Amino acid sequence: MRFKSLLIGAAIAVAVALPGQAKELRFAFQGDLKSLDPYNLNETFTLGFLGNIYEGLTRRSPDLSIEPALAESWSIEEPTRWRFNLRKGVKFQDGTELTADDVLFSADRVRADGSDLKTRLAGVVDVIKVDDHTVDFVTDAPNPILHAEWSTWYIMSKAWAEKNGATKPQAATGNEENYATRHANGTGPFMIETHEVGVRTVAVPNPNWWDKATHNLTKVTFTQIAADPTRVAALLSGEVDMAYPIPLQDQARVDANPGTRVLAGPELRTIFLGMDQFRDELLYSNIKGKNPFKDHRVREAFFRAIDIEAIKAKVMRGNSQPSAMMVAPGVQGGGDPRFTRLGYDPDKSKALLAEAGYADGFEVGMDCPNDRYVNDEQICLAVVSMLAKVGIKVNLNAQPKALYFKKILAPSLDTSFYLLGWTPGSFDSWNVLYNIHGCPDESGKGKFNLGGYCNPKVDELTAKVLSETDADKRAKMVSDAWAMTIEDISHIPLHQQALSWGVSNKVELAQRADNEFHWRHVTIK
Amino acid sequence: MLALIIRRLLQSVMVMLTVALIAFIMFRFVGDPIAQMVGQDTPIADREAMREQLGLNDPAPIQFARFVFNVVQGNFGISYQKGVPVDELILSRLPATLELSFVAALFALVVAIPMGIYTGLYPRRWLSNVFLTVSLLGISLPTFLIGILLILFFGVMLGWLPTYGRGEIVDLGAWTTGLLTESGIRSLLMPAFTLGLFQLTLIMRLVRSEMLEVMRTDYIKFARARGLSNRAVHFGHALKNTLVPVITITGLQLGSIIAFSIITETVFQWPGMGLLIVQAIQFVDIPVMSTYLIVIAFFFVIINMIVDILYHVVDPRLRAETGGKGH
């Protein structure tokens, strides 16, 4: 079986290659490709990787704007009915043709039990086949950003899934392996040749791809290299052509090496601090009987005690963009010039604390991951020492993400003060307002609002943003909602960390701010 | 002999059960797999339902019992992290680890025993001092540092050897091997050296001190008095008597090489079981962790058994005893 697919792959590779030229892209990433099933895990790397094999109705260009992919065009027929016209003549990699049935099938599959991408079709009440190449999506309420996340909702072949018994995604809790876990059949520019779980994955170009290939690759090999120094060494020694992420302390070395360079760019993830504002008494503090974080002055004092430029210069080695907002400039509603950070002012911070009745400061526990974000623990240590200068004694508990998330996420919410990062999957402010600023309730609102910040006016506006279809009005509402949360100091935004890709000089590629790596933009000299 | 083997196999079942039980009691301190099994958009209720379905809310003894019940039926579960059956995953990683471990152990033995004999026989020669000094490095430098230094020197600066992975491997059906291709062997050199260095030092020092000890004994003096050649005295009489402790240590160390090749495999991204378990721990992949632990326990028992059998081969006194009526 493996030998056969190797032969086929080799034949294709030969057919596609320019005479006598093999252009192989070898790349390494810190993490692992979890499953080839595109509905299994809503995670950037896995979905980004699969975006080379599978395609959605839409796709994102390198600057993240939405462009047509499997749907040639779409229109909003009524506020609650979107029509998508499928591209004709698109073939899956097994040779079957893409039709509306495949879209309907994928819509069912992505909403089935075991799918982690159910939210892609949240609010869609009906998917209707108009004809073989036209599909209507009916929503329960107007939704102007219905298709914002559809570039990672990949369309699967109904015939293929039925033939191989993969009509449902593999439930995380299931007892049997699903065929789609180790096999893929997309419409995209590349197809899987071999996939050794957790070791190596090899892909070759799809000769029947509908779009014109602008890359010149004949083969792509992915290997996970988890250890930072090994990943950097593999890049420096030329054993891989691209590796990411490059640790900040190794960037200079990669740049100094004659054959390699670092591509740094802003990422969409915002790193921030959160404070418990809902308990009447903090879980980890020496102040009993009241919660200092309920006092706006205390939150402001914390904000003003943090020297974000020092964090940028010392901890992040210049690789961060201090942020006034809880969303990055690349996100809809982000980069609003209306907002600036509260200035760093330890004296004012002390004065505010004194005014709030904490002239001698107080103690508080802080939770921090140490293997999740770029230099996360070091950021927390810097915050601890900065707060110490205004009299706040912070007891830091930095631990691996598996323990950290168990402690701080709902339902336990076992934290008083924490560091977290967030990228809205839809690249839109609504996601952040809803998940991180909404008053937590049973519906899932405020799911990641771990400090329980709650302002009903913000909630009201957030709900309106969801269904407002006029772009200008919507932008105004988003801006006003942000104004309220910033005024309240709901959280303390820190910065957007920088992407850090190490690339061989013979490789040209497009770096996307969402940290997805698309090989169709790669050329090798 | 047969009785010994059967007894040991029965013991191994007990050992494996105990290891698994302790493992399940400890898993609760490793963290929560759910946050990594789902994306950030997954509702809290769904997460809670998953936790319930996976039985993560049950007390450790119940989780343990369920695991044993499934294993007895040949079902080791599905990896939380990778979605494929755990037994298949571990079996596919086993060849990489075993090859690395055996090559490392072989390297350690082949180099260490002659060095140990030499330093034991000629403790005052300058070459002995060189050996001893160098071996100090092997015992005092941490493995990951040695690995990284090797990568830096031979991989990055000289560009002679691959910095990561296993190179090209040949699939023999049930076994994959890197020993049949040039890139596979080149990839093996640095990891095997790194993994074997500590053992090399240990065995060399052990052989040396045993040798020094034995050379002072009366029967060596008698052997010399009988006019035997140096060669016959050193290798025929002295060496053989130094080997019992060497075999014990080598056996035990082989177990730990297999079980604790974790650091070497991580540094070199060697696709073996050590790398698998490190990732499983970070992910809290309970099915992989528990299966790995019982497999390792099994290895230890088997290796100990082989060591016991080798004692009988090397030491005739033991043979005589068991040939009689046992202990």
Cα B231 to Cα B234: distance, rounded to the nearest angstrom: 5
CB neighbour class for A165 (10 Å; exposed up to 12, middle 13-18, buried from 19): exposed
SS3 A59: strand
Give the closest-approach CA distance of A277 to chain B in angstroms: 20
Cα B152 to Cα A27: distance, rounded to the nearest angstrom: 19
Token representation of residue A420: 């977290």
- Sign of the torsion formed by the C-alpha atoms of A163, A168, A170 and A176: negative
User: Is this prediction's ipTM beyond 0.85?
Assistant: no
pLDDT (0 to 100) of residue A352: 96
Q: Which of the pair, A186 or B173, is modelled with greater confidence? A: A186
Cα B117 to Cα A6: distance, rounded to the nearest angstrom: 51
Cα B106 to Cα B111: distance, rounded to the nearest angstrom: 8
Give the closest-approach CA distance of B48 to chain A in angstroms: 9
Q: Please determine, for residue B326, whether its predicted confidence score (pLDDT) is greater than 50.
A: no
pLDDT (0 to 100) of residue B327: 42
pLDDT (0 to 100) of residue A219: 95
Q: Which of the pair, A298 or B6, is modelled with greater confidence? A: A298
SS3 A446: coil
Residue B319: pLDDT band with limits 50, 70, 90? low
B173 touches chain A (CB under 8 A): no
pLDDT tens digits along B31-77:
888 888 888 778 888 888 888 888 888 888 888 888 888 888 888 88
Cα B33 to Cα B118: distance, rounded to the nearest angstrom: 53
Q: Please name which of A374, A368, A376 lies closest in space to residue A399, comparing C-alpha atoms.
A: A368
**CB proximity under 8 Å: B 48-67 to A:** 48, 50, 53-54
Cα B76 to Cα B174: distance, rounded to the nearest angstrom: 19
Distances (CA, A) of A36 to A59, B80, B226: 19, 14, 74
Interface test with B, best of A1, A170, A406 (most B CBs within 10 A): A406
pLDDT (0 to 100) of residue A174: 66
Cα A394 to Cα A401: distance, rounded to the nearest angstrom: 20
pLDDT (0 to 100) of residue A204: 96
Q: Which of B33, B75, B84 sits opposite A177 (nearest CB)?
A: B84
Supply the DSSP string of B49-63, one letter for each residue.
Answer: HHHHHTTTTS-HHHH
pLDDT (0 to 100) of residue A324: 95
CB A100 within 8 A of CB A87: no
Q: Please determine, for residue B139, whether its predicted confidence score (pLDDT) is greater than 90.
A: no
Cα A206 to Cα A193: distance, rounded to the nearest angstrom: 10
In terms of pTM, does the model score above 0.80? yes
Cα B314 to Cα B322: distance, rounded to the nearest angstrom: 14
Q: Which of B31, B37, B44 sits opposite A172 (nearest CB)?
A: B37
Do B267 and A229 make contact, defined as CB atoms within 8 angstroms? yes
Q: Please name which of B218, B219, B208, B197 lies closest in space to residue B242, comparing C-alpha atoms.
A: B208
Cα B219 to Cα B175: distance, rounded to the nearest angstrom: 48
What letter would DSSP give residue A517? -
Report the Cα A226 to chain-centroid distance in Å. Answer: 19
**CB proximity under 8 Å: B 67-86 to A:** 75, 77-78, 80-85
Question: Domain extents for chain A?
Answer: 19-259+505-524, 266-498
Chain B residues inside the 8 Å CB shell of A200: 165, 271
Q: Please determine, for residue B313, whether its predicted confidence score (pLDDT) is greater than 80.
A: no
The identity of residue A307, as a single letter, is: D
Q: Which of B54, B89, B148 sits opposite A197 (nearest CB)?
A: B89
pLDDT tens digits along A454-476:
999 999 999 999 888 888 999 99
Q: What is the CATH number of domain B87-326?
A: 1.10.3720.10
Chain B residues inside the 8 Å CB shell of A116: 38-39, 42
Do A170 and B38 make contact, defined as CB atoms within 8 angstroms? no
pLDDT (0 to 100) of residue B221: 83
pLDDT tens digits along B182-232:
888 999 999 999 999 888 888 888 888 888 888 888 888 888 888 888 778
Cα A182 to Cα A162: distance, rounded to the nearest angstrom: 16
User: What is the topology classification, in CATH, of domain A19-259+505-524?
Assistant: D-Maltodextrin-Binding Protein; domain 2 (3.40.190)
The identity of residue A74, as a single letter, is: W
Residue matched to tokens 């591509």: A263
pLDDT tens digits along B106-133:
999 999 888 988 888 888 889 888 888 8
Do A233 and B89 make contact, defined as CB atoms within 8 angstroms? no
Supply the DSSP string of A372-437, one letter for each residue.
Answer: SSTTHHHHHHHHHHHHHTTT-EEEEEEE-HHHHHHHHSTTT---SEEEEEE--TTSBHHHHIIIII
Do A406 and B31 make contact, defined as CB atoms within 8 angstroms? yes
pLDDT tens digits along A353-384:
999 999 999 999 999 999 889 999 999 999 99
A213 touches chain B (CB under 8 A): no
The identity of residue A420, as a single letter, is: L
pLDDT tens digits along B227-273:
888 778 787 777 777 887 888 888 888 888 887 788 999 999 999 99
Tell me how many residue pairs between chain A and chain B have CB atoms under 8 A apart. 150
CB A36 within 8 A of CB A232: no
Token representation of residue A8: 């086929």
Instruction: For residues B141-158, give the mean pLDDT.
Output: 89
pLDDT (0 to 100) of residue B42: 82
Residues in chain A, pLDDT under 70: 1-20, 172-174
pLDDT (0 to 100) of residue A520: 95
Do B41 and A425 make contact, defined as CB atoms within 8 angstroms? yes
The class that CATH gives domain A266-498 is alpha beta
pLDDT (0 to 100) of residue B37: 84
